[in-house]
Amino acid sequence: MKRAPYNHPESAELSGPRYWRSLDELSQSPEFLAQVEREFGPEASEMNEVDRRHFFKIMAASFAIGGLGFAGCRRPDSHILPHSKMPEHQVPGQALYYATGFPLRGETLPLLIETHTGRPTKVEGNADHPGYRGGTTRKAQAAILDLYDPDRATAHTKGTAKISNADVSDLLASLNKKYSASNGSGVAVLAESSSSPTRLRLKKAFLDAFPEATWAEYDAIDATNAGIAAAKVTGNDSLQPKYDLTNASRILAVDADFLDEEQGAVQFSKQFADGRRVRSSKDEMNRLYSVESNFSLTGAMADHRKRLASSQMVSFLAAVALELDLGVEGNSLNSTLSSLAGKLDPATQEWAAKCAEDLSAHKGECLVFVGQHLSPEAHALGLLVNEKLGNLKKTVSLVAVDNAASVSIQDLASNIESGSVNSLVVLSGNPVYNAPAGIDFAALLEKVGEVVRLGYYADETSEKASYHITQAHFLEAWGDGRTYGGDFVAQQPMILPLFDGVSEIEVLARLVGEANADGYSLVYSTFQSENGNSGKRAFDAFLNEGFLSAGYSVSNSNVSGLQVADLLNGYQSPAAPTQERLEIRFLNDASVDDGRFVNNGWLQECPDPMTKLTWDNAINISPVLAKDLGIVASDSAIQVARKNPNKVRDGRQFASVATITVDGREVTGAIHIQPGLDNYTVVLPLGYGRTKTGRVGTGSGFSAYAIRSASAFVANATLVLTGAQYQLASTQEHWSMEGRAIVREANLETYQKDAGFVDRLGMESHSPAIYGEVAETMSTQEKVTETPRGGSIYEHPDLTGTHQWGMSIDLNVCTGCNSCVIACQSENNIPIVGRDQVRRGREMHWIRLDRYFSSTSTDNTEIPEDPQVSLQPIACMHCETAPCETVCPVNATVHDEEGLNAMAYNRCIGTRYCANNCPYKVRRFNFFDYQQRELDKLYMGPLAPKGMPELVQMAQNPDVSVRMRGVMEKCTFCVQRINQAKIAQQAKAGAGDDVRVRDGVIKVACEQACPTDAIVFGDLRDADSRVSQLRENERSYSLLGYLNTRPRTTFMGRVRNPNPEMPDYQSQPLSTVEYNYASHGSHGEHGSSELHEEAATHDSHSDSEGGHH
Amino acid sequence: MSKVFPKWSNALPLKIVVFVFVFVTTLLAGITYYVTPKYVRVGYEPTQPVPYDHSFHVGELGLDCRYCHDKVDQSDVANIPAADTCMKCHSMIKTDSDLLAPIRESYATGEPVAWKRVHQVPDYVYFSHQAHVTRGVSCVECHGQVNEMEVVSHAEPMSMGWCLDCHRNPEEVLRPVDQVYNLDWVHPGGKQGQIKDGLKFVDERNITPPQSCTGCHR
């Protein structure tokens, strides 16, 4: 398409050369000339006699080449920037994994971090550690987003002026001189508890160097009571109880959420799940009793659950102890215990007695687990009970934990008050925000001459400090820690500090005046002194493994009953709460903890495991209290029965706002009615209502610290409605299964009698999936490739691939902790959508936890006070005959050869037909460009600024496409991990034919993070794979299998293990009772307590299974 | 009725139809030719900061592809060599060449050399070099005769249809694994021989190139 050059009869001033002068520099450079030559060949080489047409051609090209714009003419240049010198071990495009640990208070969780070209992108558990075995918590999973938080503190400051790293070093050096001169008098340090051996070493060095200094430690939820009790009853100050569920076949949790909130929760989850993972009806299973005021995940897993105010726990433990053989110590204890136990109502006493009986029958293999926040009296009683049950050194051990002496925040406050502190160092924590209500820490800080604050965020405390030192994230700094059991964990930096932050140990070392104050040297020398100078080689092995087995030393001390009696003598058992004198229970929020994660969008949007609230906290009250307050309108009985009791309008939950008053202090917040709470205990999650935080956390919830004195629960509170309403953002309004067999449950007894109970529940018992007669003799492996059609006329996808992927989820061990939700979010670049969008039901999580309540009531006219909970993780089921695929007009969702239900984002035009046709409601639509736009400016459309902050971009997984507005997305079974494993196997095979990926090589993100190994992913075509075995297990069932969707994800029915002797024994799980009632209630001949067994003979059921919520 | 439309308007509908037909056909043909990778990408030949000559280094000196692109069989991406790879030889040969100045500078300062990217697949496409070269697909199938190129240019369209051509008929390109980096290799038996051996390789190596979305889109 060449054209002859056409010379315009131009006037002199418009001719070429004049224009050229303006581009002189560019055009005359040899580089430019060379480029032009190469691009256009000889034609364009006549630069000196250039005409207008040529000029424009060249100019466009030069713009494109120079990257100055006009990119439309040419693809924009992009560059490849290789290293100057190739770093060792690095393979561009391949992730590298480093071991580190997630420190949170007294525990460090061993982790592996996936890094891409030096940029951490994903947190995985360290599967080599024998206790944690790769499990993680949602908080650990979300650490990546904290690291790349654009709102984190970016500079050290003095007042409002920025100071450099060198200034910080000078400051700390001058403090060291000053402290040395005064011997530490007038000096105080306020820190959080920590498991780090280096911190401990430096703390001791600090107290040695400055003997008159004060060292205070403070955690919002204090966990020191167990140690106080152990010291009292054994006479040894350093002892603490450590629990071990491995051999515990009977567990009593006393206000203890050991599956989620307690320290060591991941390890406990693994141990608990091991005792519960039945594979056949002959297997043994542990039994969990839970007494609690809140409705925790541990309560949800319990076989027997008793609602009781936290203040009554001492009485409850006394009632348990009374039933045991106390031996000679009984004489001194009996009267005290009886008077305590007498405070309980008879029903609770009976419950405690029967429970104690069961525990006594399992001496040495049972456990009484006392919640960390309970009083020393409760812990002392717990230790006594455990000793009498023969559990000491079996399921509970007293171990020596050296934490060095420290004082409480109250002592520090009174020191400041008396004017004896003139220099205060605050090491992380945020006391101005979270100090106990009696202490006005902001005012106290003003009394101190000089406040140096080390903090990750420039928050409330930094505002009041003279100096703010930016803290390095744990992924940026050297450090160490200990697991719950005491193993050393290495904490390695994944990346240089993004904003010149320094770590806590580096600050301390400089304060103490250590010569080598860099993190590596500090950790190295601690390691050498703790491990007998084993040298660099041992240290490198430690870093490589990520941990070093070194349990705390177990003490042989016995529990002295006399000391327990002594402790209890002065104890006044508080009266049970009533409507006028409510008990308030404070707990670290499931998402934002004590407030430290409030600016983390993943955690903010992660639904609370039980309330399913996001972005806010709420005043959680029991249905009884709600009724007393008249919150639920009397004419809404049916709605009450069928829906969330909280007022729901247009799918949004409108909550009444109330004010709680304790000791003259007030806090106002929205009410959420939560079934399963103790009647007159109000649960307030801490951590919200921050006044100075980043964009995500601002305006989120209310601060319950305003009314919280030191302990985790207070009495004598009143609650008054203000009349206002607030719109909460909840991800699950509906709580009933409506009698459908979505989660299938049976008691252990039923399971032992009828191993195939799951097949006798649900519509499939009447109308099984259409496989046809041919399928009866087929194995799973044949079925998943050949997909027998029965009478169906639809074509099925060609499932010829080498592998056939499938997943099995064991509902018997899933605790509903939400770790998988965050792991998936991190792995798959899933955006957060903000409070407003969640209210509209647009959250994007690919996997969710459905939480159902079921109660003994069959008429459903009251909100259940004491329901059972069933939790179920739901992600895309990858149906073999997927309903979404048949309705897509553009083939954007299709099957691949290996049974994955694929989603081609580039084809998707956003009709949302697929979401409409999905019976599991797992498809997620990008209503907005959530990744590119600010969440408060979504509705401004193109007028809003576009682009993801650079820091957040670094958190993205480069192996997964970032989706844009207008496309559908959903779980892909982590197709990126599948492909990487397949490619690695193929590369290994080379010219050979062994391309089958071995079982267990692929761990999908949710499976990897799961602290109970409830999720198993693998190849169904391999008859020996774990997932094939589980799929053929008698407890496996397909969710809504009668729809003939043939899901590749199957669930394993839940088995409860109640004790027939207990007063609250139910012969059937309540969801099964409800199922039987709803689906067979009209049949007179069936008792509602029997499983329906004659499926074939019934043809006139009014089964309500057809509807989906 | 009076004459509303003049007589020439009788032919107008036909003219319009013919015009629209010709216009649309031309437009579509134009788009098909000019706006597809075959036209806009093949032949792209940017000037690199250092005029590295593959025909000399590979063709004449006989360097293996993997001397510089040493991670091609270990990773999804075939790495561009770091400056120290060049310096292995050029610290001794042509140590003061002006053309190599950027390399020496990079080696000294640690700043990367900004090579221009020639081949680029979209962000939503995940292509793995490792999966191809280890299984008997030669570099030449996608990159052309790089060993004869003085300046690297974009040889193939790299459109989705072009990828699928191969994924549907892998036997046409599969070769003995030890000949992958020999860009001059052709099957001695010609096309017939290639297909015959190719089919054998497909069978022997259990080659199942994905033809569904998940193969390349994640």
Same domain, B75 and B17: no
- Between the two ends of chain B, the Cα-to-Cα distance in Å is 68
DSSP label at A711? S
The answer to whether A243 and A217 are in contact (CB under 8 A) is no
Kindly determine whether residue B116 and residue A77, on different chains, have CB atoms separated by under 8 Å. Answer: yes
Statement to judge: residues B16 and B76 lie in one domain: no
Looking at beta carbons, which residues of chain A come within 8 Å of B107?
84-85
Judgement on whether residues B76 and B23 belong to the same structural domain of the protein: no
Q: Which two tokens stand for residue A530?
A: 């703790």
Neighbours of A529 (CB within 10 A): 12
Task: Compute CA distances B71 → A988, A992, B68, B106, whole Å.
Answer: 14, 21, 9, 21
- Residue A976 in contact with partner chain B when CB distance is under 8 A: yes
> Angle A997-A1000-A1001 (CA atoms, 0-180°, nearest 5)?
50
Is B88 inside any structural domain?
no
**First CA to last CA across chain A, in angstroms?**
62
Separation CA B180–CA B133 (nearest Å): 6
Residues with Cβ within 8 Å of A19's Cβ and at least 6 positions away in sequence, in order, are A55
Domain assignment present for residue B36? The answer is: yes
Q: Are A280 and A252 in contact (CB under 8 A)?
A: no
Residues of A in contact with B210 (CB under 8 A): 896-897
Inter-residue contact A538 to A526 (CB < 8 Å): no
**Which residues in chain B are closer than 8 Å to A84, comparing Cβ atoms?**
82-84, 106-107, 109-112
Domain presence at residue B188: yes
B204 assigned to some structural domain: yes
Exposure string for A587-602, b = 16+ CB within 10 A, e = fewer: bbbbbbbbbbbbbbbb
Chain B residue numbers with beta carbons less than 8 Å from the beta carbon of A983 are 76, 128, 130-131
- Those residues of chain B that have pLDDT short of 70 are 1-2
Burial A873-885 (b: 16+ CB within 10 A, else e): bbbbbbbbbbbbb
Instruction: Give me the domains of chain A, ranges plus CATH numbers.
Output: 12-73 (no CATH), 156-218+408-488+498-529 (3.40.50.740), 225-400 (3.40.228.10), 582-727 (2.40.40.20), 745-859+866-877+974-1056 (3.30.70.20)
Residues of B within 8 A of A80 (CB-CB) are 80, 114-117
- Residue ranges making up the domain that contains B35: 12-40
> Which residues of chain B lie closer than 8 angstroms to A895, CB-CB?
212
Judge contact between A717 and A1043, C-beta under 8 A: no
Q: What is the ipTM of this complex?
A: 0.90
Query: Between chains, do B213 and A987 touch, taking CB under 8 Å as contact?
Result: no
State the amino acid at position A213 in one-letter form: A
Helix (H) or strand (E) holding A753: helix A748-753
Tens-digit pLDDT profile for residues A795-847: 677 788 889 999 999 999 999 999 999 999 999 999 999 988 888 889 999 99
Say if residue B130 is in the same domain as residue B34.
Answer: no
At residue A819, φ and ψ (nearest 5 deg) are: -60, -40
For the record, the structure tokens of A271 come out as 């141990």
> For A448-600, where are the alpha helices, taking DSSP H only?
460-464, 504-512, 519-530, 535-545, 561-569
Residue in A31, A92, A989 closest to B79 by CB: A92
- For residue B88, the surrounding DSSP H or E stretch is helix B83-90
Sign of CA dihedral A512, A516, A518, A519: negative
Q: Which of B34, B75, B212, B216 is the best substitution to test chain A (most A C-beta atoms within 10 A)?
A: B212
Residue A712 has what pLDDT? 87
Q: Rounded CA gap, A274 and A253, in Å?
A: 17
- With respect to residue B85, please indicate whether it lies within any of the assigned structural domains: no
For β-strands A467-470 and A450-455, DSSP reports them as parallel
Instruction: Please tell me whether residues B195 and B139 are part of one structural domain.
Output: yes
* CA dihedral sign of residues A479, A483, A487, A489: negative
Q: Which amino acid is at A388?
A: K
Q: Cα distance from A537 to chain B (closest Cα, Å)?
A: 29
Q: With H, G, I as helix, E, B as strand and everything else as coil, classify residue B158.
A: coil
Contact A986 B217 (CB under 8 A): no
Q: Are residues A188 and A412 in contact, defined by beta-carbon separation less than 8 angstroms?
A: yes
Helix (H) or strand (E) holding A837: helix A835-839
Same domain (yes/no): B76, B171: yes
Is the Cβ pair A979, B214 closer than 8 Å? Answer: yes
For the record, the structure tokens of A445 come out as 């800080």
Position B94 in a domain: no
Residues in contact with A331: Cβ distance below 8 Å, sequence separation at least 6, in sequence order: none
- Of A867, A868, A822, A871, nearest to A850 by C-alpha is A871
Q: How many CB pairs under 8 A join A and B?
A: 158
- The 3-class SS string of A976-1035 reads HHHHHHHHHHHHHHCCCCCCCCCCCCCCCHHHHHCCCCCEEEEECCCCCCHHHHHHCCCC
Give the residue among A1055, A817, A869 at the shortest CA–CA distance from A307. A869
Q: What is the β-pairing status of strands A1049-1052 and A805-810? A: parallel
- Number of alpha helices (DSSP H) and beta strands (DSSP E) in chain B: 10, 1
Q: How many domains does chain B have?
A: 2
B133 and B188 belong to one structural domain: yes
Query: What pLDDT sits at residue A521?
Result: 93
Over chain A (1109 residues), what is each successive 10-residue block's mean pLDDT?
44 37 40 42 42 58 49 72 87 91 92 92 93 92 93 90 90 91 90 93 92 91 89 88 92 93 92 92 91 93 93 92 83 86 91 92 92 92 91 91 88 91 91 90 89 92 92 94 92 92 93 87 92 87 91 87 84 87 92 91 93 91 87 48 54 79 92 90 92 89 89 89 86 77 91 89 79 79 80 73 93 93 94 89 92 78 82 93 91 91 92 93 92 88 86 91 93 94 92 91 94 94 92 91 89 93 89 79 43 40 40
Going by C-beta distance under 8 Å and a sequence separation of 6 or more, which residues neighbour residue A1020?
A780, A781, A784, A804, A805, A806, A899, A1027, A1028, A1031, A1048
Q: Which whole-number Å values give the CA distances from A592 to A122, A295, A297, A430, A597, in the listed order?
A: 19, 18, 17, 14, 4
Shortest CA gap B191–chain A (Å): 21
Neighboring chain B residues of A986 at a CB cutoff of 8 Å:
131, 134-135
A29 CB near a chain B CB, below 8 Å? no
Q: List all residues 6 or more positions away from A153 whose beta carbon is below 8 Å from its beta carbon.
A: A455, A456, A457, A458, A462, A468, A470, A471, A499, A501
Tell me A315's DSSP state. Answer: H
Indicate whether B51 belongs to any domain.
Answer: no
Side-chain-facing half-sphere of A456: CA atoms under 13 Å: 23
Helix (H/G/I), strand (E/B), else coil: A883:
helix
Question: What gap in Å lies between CA A93 and CA A604, rounded to an integer?
Answer: 32
Q: Where are the beta strands (DSSP E) in A38-89?
A: 79-80
In chain B, which residue's Cα lies nearest the Cα of A38?
B47
- Residue B152 resides in a domain: yes
DSSP category for residue B59: I
Residue A1042 pLDDT: 86
